[in-house]
Amino acid sequence: MKRNKALSEFEAVVFAHSLINPPSQNRSNVVDLILKNSQKVTLKKEGEVLQTQYRLSITTDKRLAEQSDRDNFFSDAVLAFNLLLDTTALWMFRQSVNNYDFHRKGTKSEIEKNSELSEIVVDDDYRMITAKDEIVLDITEKDHVATISKETIDENKIIRTLNIINKADRHQAPHANTPFQKKQKMLNLKKALDNYEAAMSIFDMRFIFRDLFMSLEMATNWDQGRGRKGEALDAEIAKLTMIPQTRIYDWHTLYNRLKHPDEKQEHLIAFEKGIKKLPSKIEPLRFACKKVILQRLKSL
């Protein structure tokens, strides 16, 4: 008679913020994460300041005797969430913004002049502004604003994604007898996952963009190292993601300008143009990363 494995519940505090409209000195994020089909995974909201704090609980049959094992397990669980979420980023540590403070509220008449907002809630501490989707929020420099966003995620997808991440065994070095080609893929995919995680943990959109593109490049080139460059890399990403190559070329151009010194006038123009449109590039770039990374994980 086959025995059922013993189940244990593990908990960790995690913090959610908007990736496309991240916290700043005068803006915080209120994120409502809704779990569908919740049985083994639960999320309990515990607070809202700069980010939204949740307590994440997961029931598993894994034996996690060491603290390092539990840390790695929750790191993979948070990664599974981040590979499924669209606009929200989840991280295991509270982040800070330099000189972060609550600022004086403006008058109600000042607020009502902004016709783009669909609903306004005035709180004793700070004003919260909500709209149908993520919103760009600069009312006045003296105001503190909180964005409100909502995402729904299915537990079944989280468990499936966590299982394929576990198969990658990214916290351990490949076995010495692992064939070179498989070892190359595993190590390059690990780098892609590390860069993707880094993008989820920061607020500066320049570095979010940089780390996402590095992740996309690593995942795309997992079998060739730096074999694909320039147009060849753009073409391969377009083939894997079904995103127009012209858009990928635009991302690649901005990535190069973030990475390298500007030597010509055309470099300065490309950098300034790219930075102005940076918020609109983050979400489709994240989509491309997720698509390629998940393809690679499933094929290991």
What distance in Å separates the CA atoms of residue 261 and residue 99, rounded to the nearest whole number?
29
Q: Which of 116, 148, 172 is the last residue of a domain?
A: 172
Q: Which residues are paired to 53 by β-bridges?
A: 15, 47
The residue to which tokens 């083939």 are assigned: 239
Q: What is the CA radius of gyration of the chain?
A: 21
Say yes or no: 115 and 91 in one domain. Answer: yes
| Triad 83, 203, 53: Cα angle to 5° | 70
Q: Determine the Cα–Cα distance for residues 26 and 102; give it in Å rounded to an integer.
A: 7
Residues 28 and 167 in one domain: yes
Q: Which domain holds residue 236?
A: 174-300
Q: Clarify whether residues 147 and 7 are in a common domain.
A: yes
Write down the mean pLDDT value for the chain. 80
Task: Please tell me whether residues 193 and 52 are part of one structural domain.
Answer: no
Burial of 134 (0-12, 13-18, 19+ CB in 10 A): buried
Centroid of chain to Cα 248: 19
Same domain, 197 and 281: yes
- Strands 8-18 and 52-60, how do they pair? antiparallel
CA distance readout (Å), 123 to 126, 145, 146, 247: 5, 11, 11, 41
Say which residue the tokens 């669209």 belong to.
86
The reply to whether 230 and 281 lie within a common domain is yes
End-to-end CA gap in the chain: 33
Q: Report the 10 Å Cβ neighbour count for 247.
A: 17
Query: Which residue's entry shows tokens 């300065």?
Result: 268
What is the full per-residue pLDDT of the chain (300 aa) written as tens digits?
455 667 788 899 999 999 988 888 778 889 999 999 999 999 999 988 889 999 999 998 887 768 888 889 999 999 999 999 999 999 988 766 543 333 323 333 333 333 333 333 333 333 333 333 443 333 334 566 788 889 999 999 999 999 999 988 899 888 888 888 888 899 999 999 999 999 999 998 889 999 999 999 999 999 876 678 889 999 999 999 999 999 999 999 888 888 766 667 776 777 777 677 888 889 999 999 999 999 999 998
Angstrom distance (rounded) from CA 133 to CA 86 = 12
**Are residue 209 and residue 271 in the same domain, yes or no?**
yes
Indicate if 146 and 216 belong to the same structural domain.
Answer: no
Angle (CA) 165-167-171 rounded to 5° is 70
Q: Are residues 80 and 226 in the same domain?
A: no
Count of domains for the chain:
2
Indicate if 14 and 161 belong to the same structural domain: yes
- The rounded distance, in Å, linking the Cα atoms of 41 and 38 is 6
Domain termination residue (choose one: 142, 172, 202): 172
Residues in the chain: 300
> Among 52, 42, 81, which Cα is nearest to 196's?
81
Contact 108, 92 (CB under 8 A): no
Which pLDDT value is given to residue 141?
Answer: 41
Q: Which of 13, 8, 12 is nearest to 60 (CA)?
A: 8
Instruction: Single out the residue in 140, 172, 204 at which a domain terminates.
Output: 172
Question: What pLDDT sits at residue 277?
Answer: 80
Instruction: Round to whole Å and give the CA distance between 72 and 91.
Output: 13
Residues 208-262: tens digit of each pLDDT: 999 999 999 999 999 876 678 889 999 999 999 999 999 999 999 888 888 766 6
Residues 160 and 278 in one domain: no
211 vs 243: CA distance, rounded Å: 19
Q: What CA–CA distance (Å, rounded) separates 164 from 112?
A: 49
Q: How far is CA 7 from CA 37, 60, 61, in A?
A: 19, 5, 4
59/157 same-domain check: yes
